[in-house]
Amino acid sequence: MQEGRATANEASDGDRRGARLRLVSEVIWRTTQFFHEEGITQLLPVMLGRSTDPLGPDPGSSVIATAEIDYLGDRFYLMNSMILHKQFAVRELGPIWILSPNVRLERPERGASGKHLFEFTQADFELPRARGADVRALVERYFVHLGRTLHDCAAFSTLDVKPPRFFPPWPVYTTHELAGRYGPDWEAAASRDHDQPFWALCHRREFYDREDPDAPGHFLNYDLVYPDGYGEALSGAEREWESDRIRHRIARDGIPPAAFRAYLDRAQGLIPSAGAGFGVERLVRFLSRAAHVGDVQLFRRVPGERAEL
């Protein structure tokens, strides 16, 4: 044993907390490096919008409400996600990504899932005229880059955790296949049953995920799921971009169109795109094998738990 270097057994709770938080910083650096090398432009986040992601219908979401404020006669929503803004950004600038803070007022029971926060940051990206397969290939390259660049990160020895190694291409399933094999709440069991991430295609959810024009009732979207029980990592889709289809989907979902007026008024000029977003804290929880995603936050934002500051 080298002198002056804490081994895992010697590491205190404070050392481990520091290691997890430094791993967040390392992951942000490597993520920024990856997107830069892929020629994808980083944007600053939007935090208030006249429209935001409705987060439904989606069986994975339990938000009680979308936080909103009135300012000088306009109603603004805190970002549930920047998906609607991404659709306009990609039209103007081409491939883009954002480290985007999201506020999602989840039900208190979600605190026990180990993976829910009411405030978190996602790395959210969108590619013009891309298909789902392009996005999945980009995400697989990203994880290989993480594995290659993080392998000698000191956090792993402090935490006594093996640095990650990823071996894509990863298995691709439909949600129908997964539900058939593991039951309707397939995510946790399927995650425990894998030792590499895997893809789950075709979820019925928000209006902006494109419904397959050749197979109505099927959706051109995808989730990435971490192995070893860590659950959902990323969600994304090819997008609805034709304004008539968007209006039809919003009406079909029974969502009040008033909250989307600013978006719908401009929707005429959208272009086809595809993208995805992954939670930075969930990624670091998985890499550091933390018991709860709140353990990688300096100021915990766990539903049902009192925030100290």
* Assigned token pair, 232: 């959902």
Residue in 231, 277, 294, 303 binding ligand ASN, rule: CB under 6 A = 277
Report the site for ligand ASN in 237-256 (rule: CB under 6 A).
237
Residue 159 buriedness (CB in 10 A; 0-12 / 13-18 / 19+): buried
Q: Taking CB under 6 A as the rule, does residue 223 contact ligand ASN?
A: no
Smallest separation (angstroms) from ligand ASN to the CB of 236:
4
Q: Please tell me whether residue 63 binds ligand ASN under the rule CB under 6 A.
A: no
Q: Name the token pair of 212.
A: 């397959």
Work out whether 281 is an interface residue with ligand ASN (CB under 6 A).
no
**Among residues 35, 53, 201, 302, which is the contact residue for ligand ASN, using CB under 6 A?**
53
Q: How far is the CB of 83 from ligand ASN (least distance, A)?
A: 4
The continuous run of DSSP H or E covering 132 comes out as helix 132-150
Would you say 19 and 160 are in contact if contact means Cβ atoms under 8 Å apart?
Answer: no
Minimal distance, residue 23 CB to ligand ASN, in Å: 22
Closest CB to ligand ASN among residues 227, 275: 275
Asked whether position 233 contacts ligand ASN by CB under 6 A, the answer is no
Q: Which of 24, 40, 83, 103 binds ligand ASN (CB under 6 A)?
A: 83
Distance of CA 235 to CAs 28, 58, 206, 209, 309, Å? 19, 12, 11, 10, 30
Torsion of CA 160, 161, 163, 166, to 10 degrees: 160
Nearest-approach distance from CB 183 to ligand ASN, in angstroms: 24
The verdict on 52 binding ligand ASN (CB under 6 A) reads: no
Q: What part of residues 119-138 is at the interface with ligand ASN (CB under 6 A)? A: 122, 124
Using CB under 6 A as the binding rule, whether residue 187 contacts ligand ASN is answered as no
Contact between 275 and ligand ASN (CB under 6 A)? yes
Nearest to 53 by CA among 36, 33, 37, 77: 77
Q: Which stretches does DSSP call E strand in the chain? A: 41-43, 48-49, 68-71, 74-78, 96-103, 119-128, 172-174, 198-201, 221-226, 231-238, 273-279
Q: Are strands 172-174 and 198-201 parallel, antiparallel or unpaired?
A: parallel
Sole binder of ligand ASN in the list 132, 197, 231, 236 (CB under 6 A) = 236
Chain residues in the site for ligand ASN (CB under 6 A): 53, 81, 83, 122, 124, 235-237, 275-277
